[in-house]
Amino acid sequence: MEIKNIKSCIVAILLTGILIGNFSTLYFKVYPFLLQNEKIHAQLSIVEQNYPFYSQNPNSASSFSTLNEEDLLLINSYNESNVYDMIAQQIDFGYRIPSSNASDQCISWISSTMKNFTNVSIYPFTLIRNQKEWLCKNIIAKYNEGKDKILIFAAHFDSRAVAEKDPDESRKDFPIEGANDGASGVAVLMEIARLISQSEVKWDYEFWFLFLDAEDQGLSLGRYGLPNFSWCEGSSYLVNDMKSHPDNYFSANQSLNSIKSFILLDMVGGEDLEFIHESHSSPDLQDRFFKVGNHIGYTQTFPLEANSYSILDDHVSFSREGIPTLDLIIKFWDPSITWSYHHTHGDNLEHISKESLKIIGKTLMYFIYFTYHPSLEGFSADFSSPSFFQENWQSLVLISVGIIAIGIYIFFRMHTKRIKITRMPS
């Protein structure tokens, strides 16, 4: 057999691998949803008996006639203008680069504001890169303390120190404002915390509002945000420290296993908001959140059928510990989407949408009430974590195809040599 035929064989194998990859997408992404469908629909029916939320108008009181009036008023008091102003406040501090004065001012502001309705703790940690120390800080604001079960809502507050994707080459090495990438998630969580603290509900969960440092300084397009930083340094440190020093974080009746869900908000304020499906996220937690968004009318923002993408974000360290997570994030790498300002100087207040801030905030509030409300007897809020195959199917398929291709190439090389030997003149 000639070498060109061997190469053709390998090309055919690689094309087969692509087909296998598509099949794997169906098997590892769609099939688990089909298996869970009966369970999910049964759980939703329990919720809908108490809180029918079929309306396409999430602001209509008559559409939620069986929802407790006080709860409905509280949910609808979510104020996207307040959220917008809190984004502007973060930008006014300057570039929130780890270990900077602007970062310290932002941390102080978040802490002092959250102290009005939560118990706030600051967790400093030091990163050493290129023989330089960077003092970073995570913030945890707790509400309804003393419960066995914990819900975490998270966002990062640091802004990127470079703009490697900016179309202006002369501005690529300058920091960005990070209005959407960072500040939007922080502001939404602060508004949610304010509302939850005013609720009359006797929650069975302890609420943690987590504000993370040093998320956005990793390597992209040949440029680090900060020298030799990795992505998601704050969350990676936090999970490791929780395991090493649990008493610094958890009460006597709690542990890392007490965290029942971890919901991350990252880039939630841009125009024409549309979230992706993310493969490190819990399939049923993600599905439930998107179903709630659809039920209250936000079908474009929360597509029920979409491709799944693997994103390295602050939820991954928690997901690896078996904690159900959800990464609410957009397709930020796609230049065709309306908000196409990731890691550019266009990530500013001009491209923040109050409508998007309303959509994510109200959906999150309805999700909390329709998922964790103590009156929902018979509804299980114990979500699963993605399986190893669901998280890593792309890598596994590529490795398998590569091994098969190498094996077949070696086989045909050996076979070709045997043919040449047998044809040698005696």
Alpha helices in 76-151 (DSSP H): 80-93, 101-114
376 and 402 fall within a common domain:
no
Question: Do residues 347 and 413 share a domain?
Answer: no
- The answer to the question of residue 296 being in a domain is yes
pLDDT (tens digit, 9 = 90+) per residue, 110-149? Answer: 999 999 999 999 999 999 999 999 999 999 999 999 999 9
Rounded CA separation 264/67 (Å): 27
Classify residue 59 by burial, with Cβ atoms within 10 Å: 0-12, 13-18, 19+: middle
162 in the same domain as 16? no
Asked if 176 and 264 sit in the same domain, the reply is yes
Pairing of β 223-224 and β 219-220: antiparallel
Range scoring the smallest mean pLDDT among 1-10, 218-227, 384-393: 1-10
Q: Per residue in 409-424, pLDDT tens?
A: 666 666 655 555 555 5
Give the residue numbers spanning the domain of 27.
3-31+389-422
Residue 62 lies in a domain: no
215 and 275: one domain? yes
User: Exposure pattern of 1-17 as b/e (b: 16+ CB <10 Å)?
Assistant: eeeeebeebbeebeeeb
Within a domain: 129: yes
Q: What is the CATH number of the domain that holds 321?
A: 3.40.630.10
The mean of the pLDDT values for the chain is 85
The answer to whether the beta carbons of residues 381 and 371 sit under 8 Å apart is: yes
Q: Domain count for the chain, please give it.
A: 2
Q: For residue 91, what pLDDT band results from cuts at 50, 70 and 90?
A: very high
Query: Is 88 found in the same domain as 12?
Result: no
Contact between residue 96 and residue 182 where contact means Cβ atoms under 8 Å apart:
yes
Assigned domain for 319 exists: yes
d(CA 81, CA 87): 10
**At residue 26, does pLDDT exceed 50?**
no
Task: Return the sign of the alpha-carbon dihedral for residues 357, 204, 149, 115.
Answer: positive
Instruction: Tell me, yes or no, whether 51 lies in a domain.
Output: no
Q: How many CB atoms lie within 10 A of CB 220?
A: 16
Residue type, 295: H
Q: Judge if 212 and 121 occupy the same domain.
A: yes
120: part of which helix (H) or strand (E)?
strand 119-129
Same domain, 271 and 360: yes
Residue 134 placed within a domain: yes
Residues 368 and 402 in one domain: no
Are 314 and 327 members of one domain?
yes
Q: State the Cα–Cα distance between residues 192 and 328, nearest whole angstrom.
A: 15
**pTM for the whole structure:** 0.81
Record the tokens describing residue 288, joined without a space.
Answer: 């439930």
pLDDT of residue 257 exceeding 80? yes
Residue 403 lies in a domain: yes
Residues 178 and 283 reside in one and the same domain: yes
Read off φ and ψ for residue 237, nearest 5 degrees. Answer: -60, -45
